């Protein structure tokens, strides 16, 4: 996001030269440079045997299921974000968190750095949050079909299938 006004004092930002970055919006009052950076966000495939946890959240995608995801909050590291989001959205604990890579995504004018993970189910029963309509364990063979429009999510699932060396022929 390109900053025009200072989020602290509201003053219109000036351009200031920064060595590697060139001109950067700058508030001379607060002495802060506002770099044009994406928001870090996590997405995780939680695995339990041959099942993967998928949510239904109509405000994200109307007719398909999605992986769990959320924004990194100030004060936490990315691993903590994953544990927190899974617990908040589905009420379960996870273990064996594994980083699968990242993607730069622009979604509804929001610039995101999507950090992709897989994890194993640890403990607890599904207890979904109010912002989630459904949370279900979906069999691996059905997961890609259920996620029609969730392109980033499907790429994570394909990585997961490679990681766990899932070779059933019905997965394309």
Q: Work out whether 33 is an interface residue with Zn ion (CB under 5 A).
A: no
CA–CA distance, 31 with 52 (Å, rounded to integer): 47
Q: Work out whether 8 is an interface residue with Zn ion (CB under 5 A).
A: yes
Q: Work out whether 13 is an interface residue with Zn ion (CB under 5 A).
A: no
Smallest distance, Zn ion to C-beta of residue 30, A: 4
Length of the chain equals: 172
Q: Work out whether 1 is an interface residue with Zn ion (CB under 5 A).
A: no
Backbone φ and ψ of 60, nearest 5°: -95, -60
SS3 108: coil
2, 21, 23, 27: which one binds Zn ion (CB under 5 A): 27
Q: Work out whether 30 is an interface residue with Zn ion (CB under 5 A).
A: yes
Neighbours of 13 (CB within 10 A): 21
| CB nearer to Zn ion: pick between 34 and 117 | 34
Whole-angstrom distance between the N-terminal and C-terminal Cα of the chain? 36
| Residues making contact with Zn ion (CB under 5 A) | 6, 8-9, 11, 27, 29-30
């Amino acid at each position: 996001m390109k900053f025009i006004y200072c989020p602290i004092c509201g003053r219109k930002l000036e351009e200031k030269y920064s060595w590697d970055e060139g001109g950067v919006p700058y508030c001379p009052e607060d002495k802060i440079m506002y770099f044009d950076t994406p928001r870090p966000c996590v997405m995780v495939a939680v695995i339990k045997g041959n099942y993967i946890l998928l949510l239904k959240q109509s405000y994200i995608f109307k007719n398909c299921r999605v992986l769990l995801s959320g924004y990194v909050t100030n004060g936490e590291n990315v691993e903590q974000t994953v544990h927190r989001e899974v617990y908040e959205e589905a009420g379960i604990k996870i273990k064996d968190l594994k980083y699968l890579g990242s993607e730069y995504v622009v979604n509804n004018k929001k610039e995101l750095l999507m950090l992709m993970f897989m994890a194993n189910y640890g403990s607890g029963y599904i207890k979904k949050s109010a912002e989630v309509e459904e949370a279900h364990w979906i069999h691996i063979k059905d997961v890609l079909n259920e996620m029609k429009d969730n392109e980033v999510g499907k790429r994570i699932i394909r990585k997961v299938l490679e990681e766990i060396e899932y070779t059933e022929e019905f997965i394309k």
